[in-house]
Structure 1
Amino acid sequence: MSEPVRVVAAGDHFVLPGLIAQAVGKELSDERPHETREVMLGWPLEPFGPVAEVAEASDAEDELIEALAGAQVLVTQMGPVTERVLDACPGLKLVVVCRGGPVNVNLDAAKRRDVRVCYAPGRNAAATAEFTLGLMLAVLRRIPQAHELLARRRGWEGAAYYTYEHSGVELEDLPVGLVGHGAVGSRVARVLCAFGAQVMVYDPYVRGEVHGLRLGSLDELLRRSRVVTLHARLTAQTRGLIGARELALLPQGAVLVNAARGALVDEAALCAALGSGHLAGAALDTYAHEPPPPDSPLFAHADRLVLTPHLGGASRAVAEKAARIAAEEVGRWVRGEPLAHCLT
């Protein structure tokens, strides 16, 4: 009998180690014998951040090195796969990251050691799209503010939102601009069309007609849209994509929604646009620095904002999908099949 495949399921309080182990067990049930060791990392109850030379990881190099002794496979979401970890674990052959990109892995170091690195694209597309629509409805109809007045302060002052001056905006016939038309943006577009919104898309990687939606330049989209929602990846080119100039192009009283990456937006410029009244509001799930510092200027505009702590991808289905996608890659590797989502 061949030696068992030794897998470390370094999960966390979202993608639970048990979910990973269960998915791997199901995938490998008819394959080689396997042993799975479960390790619980602290995220999201403990913050993530840069660890050594990698970004967005749990500070758990020592814990990971200990767990990986004798292992060939690591499945994780936040485990820091640094040069130090790779040096200490020469038997490691496959790393599968349960997220949309392996930002917690030193890809160059892994490639030098012939360690394959996979990830789980699309795991949270549906959840983030749904959450984006929730943010949009919340800010347009002032749902959190009304809840605060009635449930927290136990007053009926929120009825003022029924006056013409303070009432909200509906999506039907509303010009809405989407910056980005990938896995998330395309889902948001479909739902907005079902609401009857006038949807326009800016995406430099999309050519021709997109399911009947109008395409345009970023400037044209900003000038025409009462609501703009961001769905672009964060790159050197998109960092600060929406700054003072871009916000000034929006019509008076427009709304910005961002459940993508915080650094797409110049937060100082956003605060200035809110303070001047040029923007009626904004809904943010992501921030330039997470969490925002207590003295962030954003909090001074809380009456115009809907703020959530990076929850767009937080659904049980996302955790289950991530574990399943990762386990499928482990199964392909064990069977010697081509890996589906591999970067090294």
Structure 2
Amino acid sequence: MTTRARALVAGDRFVLNRLLATDLATEGAFDVRELELPWPHVPFGPVAEVDEASGSEEELMTALQGVRVCLTQMAPLTRRILAACPDLELFAVSRGGPVNANLEAATEHGVAVTFAPGRNATSTAEYAVGLVLAAMRRIPQSHLGVVDGRWESSLYAYEETGLELEGATVGLVGAGAVGSRVARILLAFGADVLVADPYADPATLPPGVRFVELDELIATSQVVSLHARVTDETRGLMNAARIAAMPAGSVLVNCARGALVDHTALAAALTDGHLFAAGLDVFDVEPLPPDHPLRHAPHVVMTPHLAGASRAVAERASRMVAAEAGRWLRGRPPLHCANPDVLARVR
């Protein structure tokens, strides 16, 4: 008789337990235990030495007793939890990076940690293009005018009208999983797409995209959309000097990471009219504090880090971590292991 491996699905109100349990059932014989975490209704935060986690060490230590596989998005994996849960072998995190897991401690305890790269690439790309359109045409501001009882036909005045994507030069800073999808969408709009990314493979981008240096992209693009990772090289990439180098009346969009932009300089460029508009889903401080300069800047579209929030993302993420559990059950190495050194020591 085959022994069923005990698994914990520790979902939340985005990556649901029912999704995880259903997908896990297609991967093999698991004895499933469930724990529902309160995110996003309760914000994530640090738990002991890990960040962006939901739930407590105590409830995870209880739920993980006798468990060999855990599927989660936000559950913490700390040194204390690992020490208290010796049966755990696989911790599959359904997000682009397992920041809620202590990888060093997991490796020491022989626990493989996996993640789900690219789970939200399509969602983020579509959202970025949506922000481009919303900023270029000032759609949210017009909507609020109608809600407030104003029918602002004065917005037809030449100086108040928006911009078009067709024929516009749009510069993408970064052309990975998200940026390459944005490029394909923009080309369909008829935009002239430039890319600045020293690490991108031209073969992964659609025909018609032109590679240029960053300074040329910034100086010639009517829209600049950011899709880069935060590194020592890119932190503060869009500083006051680079924002000033953008053409007058241009648009800046960021769905990547808030640390790429000097938000004080951006607010100043919007206030003095150098930039036509901006669209932002990420910020240097989240949630946005009451005294943040962008709260008082004109012509900025802001959303609360929602680019990756789609039902398809939750469903895709669930399938990805369930597939990792299936590989583990069949004795195969995980596809996306964040601590590959552990693989030689387990199973």
Q: Is TM > 0.5 for Structure 1 vs Structure 2?
A: yes
CA contact (8 A) 1:124 1:318 kept: yes
Please point out which of 279, 289, 305 is paired with 1:310. 305
Q: Distance in 1 between matches of 2:283 and 2:320?
A: 28
Give the counterpart letter for 1:15 in structure 2: V
Q: Distance in 2 between matches of 1:263 and 1:50?
A: 19
| Partner in structure 2 of residue 16 of structure 1 | 16
CA contact (8 A) 2:176 2:200 kept: no
| Alpha-carbon displacement from aligned partner over 1:66-111 (angstroms, at most 9, x marks no partner) | 1111100111111111111111111110010001111111111111
CA contact (8 A) 1:65 1:89 kept: yes
| Structure 2 counterparts to residues 12-161 of structure 1, below 5 A | 12-28=12-28, 33-150=29-146, 152-157=147-152, 159-161=153-155
CA contact (8 A) 1:82 1:106 kept: yes
Gaps of 5+ in 2: 340-347
| Structure 2 counterparts to residues 1-344 of structure 1, below 5 A | 1-28=1-28, 33-150=29-146, 152-157=147-152, 159-206=153-200, 210=205, 211-301=207-297, 303-344=298-339
Q: Distance in 2 between matches of 1:168 and 1:304?
A: 11
Give the counterpart letter for 2:262 in structure 1: D
Matched residues, number: 337
**CA apart distance, 1:208:** 5.2
Q: Distance in 1 between matches of 2:111 and 2:280?
A: 37
Q: Distance in 1 between matches of 2:154 and 2:321?
A: 50
**CA apart distance, 1:59:** 4.3
CA contact (8 A) 1:18 1:38 kept: no
Instruction: Provide the secondary structure at the position in 2 that maps to 1:40.
Output: coil
Instruction: Provide the secondary structure at the position in 1 that maps to 2:333.
Output: coil
315-324 or 35-44, which deviates more: 35-44
Instruction: Provide the secondary structure at the position in 2 that maps to 1:165.
Output: helix
Q: Distance in 2 between matches of 1:292 and 1:241?
A: 20
CA contact (8 A) 1:271 1:297 kept: yes
Q: Distance in 1 between matches of 2:199 and 2:51?
A: 26
Q: Distance in 2 between matches of 1:276 and 1:337?
A: 58
CA contact (8 A) 2:135 2:300 kept: yes
36-45 or 92-101, which deviates more: 36-45
| Alpha-carbon displacement from aligned partner over 1:176-207 (angstroms, at most 9, x marks no partner) | 00011011100100010010101000111025
CA contact (8 A) 2:225 2:252 kept: yes
| Alpha-carbon displacement from aligned partner over 1:289-331 (angstroms, at most 9, x marks no partner) | 1111122111101x31111111101111110000001000000
Q: Distance in 1 between matches of 2:56 and 2:144?
A: 39
Q: Distance in 2 between matches of 1:15 and 1:90?
A: 26
Q: Distance in 2 between matches of 1:74 and 1:190?
A: 36
Percent identity between the two aligned chains:
55
| Alpha-carbon displacement from aligned partner over 1:119-172 (angstroms, at most 9, x marks no partner) | 11111111111111111101101110110001x211112x22222111100000
35-44 or 314-323, which deviates more: 35-44
Q: Distance in 1 between matches of 2:230 and 2:42?
A: 24
Q: Distance in 2 between matches of 1:27 and 1:38?
A: 17
CA contact (8 A) 2:9 2:71 kept: yes
Q: Distance in 2 between matches of 1:292 and 1:208?
A: 37
Q: Distance in 1 between matches of 2:86 and 2:154?
A: 65
TM-score, normalization by structure 2: 0.94
Q: Distance in 1 between matches of 2:236 and 2:286?
A: 16
RMSD between aligned residues: 1.3
Q: Distance in 2 between matches of 1:282 and 1:123?
A: 26
Give the counterpart letter for 2:326 in structure 1: G
Q: Distance in 2 between matches of 1:226 and 1:272?
A: 18
CA contact (8 A) 2:327 2:333 kept: yes
| Alpha-carbon displacement from aligned partner over 1:221-253 (angstroms, at most 9, x marks no partner) | 100111100111122322211111111110111
